Structure 1
């Protein structure tokens, strides 16, 4: 999906584009994921996760390794993953956006910065998940993966970055997982970690961590200055 970006005020900013993650970053769906996964575990007589915090401490990529940590072996991975995806799909519509998501997207857009959403979800499913929230207009592009069972976004982000013409150092990526962080580091883009998503942030200080999406705007503004046109005498 491609959308036109509204023209914002004439800012000259070091940030050319913000690359947003979807699940867990803009969409507050960790509780939905926990419920679906616990059904999968219960059906296999495996211990369930007691709460979202427990889920966030064990979640991670690659997804197959995450399942293994829960006791689901390689032979059962695809059936378990398919069951999870079915359960998740029936409930994800009740997941809200994180507080301030819409206002944050609007604020970044007003700075004249391009925005793209890149998700570890296949495009038709991603479009259905986004539809109730009315935020697609904020993004120049909305991109997803091709394989729901191996949801790595690395290639998707890399292709977008190459085709966009943006300088990696002037792209800000916002995500909630170690995988998002690894992608940013591999591609040389700036990264901001959202702390209230699917995975507990690691114990290092290589990248800023925010608990509120509105704080992302400050990271963009910190590298933005008014254009000379705004300082001309009337």
Structure 2
């Protein structure tokens, strides 16, 4: 990690351990519709970006119901549970270590911006970041454009940057930005899905970074 001058963190599933509250939130909706519930294993196999595709994979029919209302229903469930989630302990160690090493740190998230700001403030981690970047809606779509804006605003060079994420979309973002990438298999997608990207750096957890 010493060669990197900047770290871009994904938030959900990479810094924030919100997997269980995400599963609880979607299972409430599935139960209401008499659809099969998800386990931790099945969730990690079907979760994807854009999240509308994930909803369709688990049985939602947007010919019969409104995607916008469905997304708001999930956010309502998720927001109630968000205070019960926390940062991965090893993430706190790395945030502090990278700060001491003088690295710039950023969050690049598909979480809605106001919710992201509130969450980082509640968890008292905002002081680690040069910028926190979320999206302007609740639909968890692509982060690529916001990533490009971070590069331009902070004059980042791709060879100096490493992105940490937990999904195939994080690897797509890293490839679009031309930067290095580590995918962590303790988040929202299975290690098999992460390996299928061809990413050369796939680790079980952030503990593997600490011990490098």
Q: Which stretch of the first structure deviates more once superposed, 71-80 or 166-175?
A: 71-80
Paired residues in the alignment total: 207
Equivalent residue, structure 1, for 2:206 = 213
Instruction: Quote the residue 1:228 is aligned against.
Output: none
Relative contact order, higher structure (CA 8 A, sep 6+): 1
- Higher mean displacement: 129-138 or 27-36: 129-138
**Aligned residues: CA RMSD:** 1.7
Structure 2 residue aligned with 1:34, among 23, 27, 35? 23
1:73 matched residue in structure 2: 61
Shift of 1:218: 5.7
Write out per-residue CA displacement over residues 3-40 of structure 1, whole angstroms, 9 at most, x where no aligned residue.
Answer: xxxxxxxxxx5312000011110111000000000011
SS for the counterpart of 1:191 is: strand
TM-score by length of 1: 0.83
- Asked if the contact 1:175/1:194 (under 8 Å) is kept, the reply is yes
1:76-155 matches, within 5 Å, as 76=65, 77-155=67-145
Which residues in structure 2 correspond to 1:169-208 (within 5 Å)?
169-201=159-191, 202=193, 203-204=195-196, 205-208=198-201
User: Aligned residue for 1:57?
Assistant: 45
Give ranges in structure 1 of 5+ residues lacking alignment: 1-12, 220-234
Matches of 1:19 and 1:217, distance apart in 2 = 16
Name the CA shift for 1:63/1:19 in 2 (closer, same or farther; >3 Å): same
Q: Residue 74 of structure 1: CA displacement?
A: 2.5
Distance, in Å, in 1 between the alignment partners of 2:140 and 2:186 is: 23
Give 3-state SS (helix, strand or coil) of 1:19's partner.
strand
CA contact (8 A) 1:64 1:74 kept: no
Q: Which runs of 5+ in 2 are unaligned?
A: none
Please give the per-residue CA displacement for 1:162-191, whole angstroms capped at 9, x wherever unaligned.
221111121100000100111101211100
Alignment counterpart, residue 6 of structure 2, candidates 9, 13, 17? 17
Q: Name the larger-Rg structure.
A: 1
- SS of 1:100's equivalent? helix
Counterpart-to-counterpart distance in 2, 1:188 and 1:218: 26
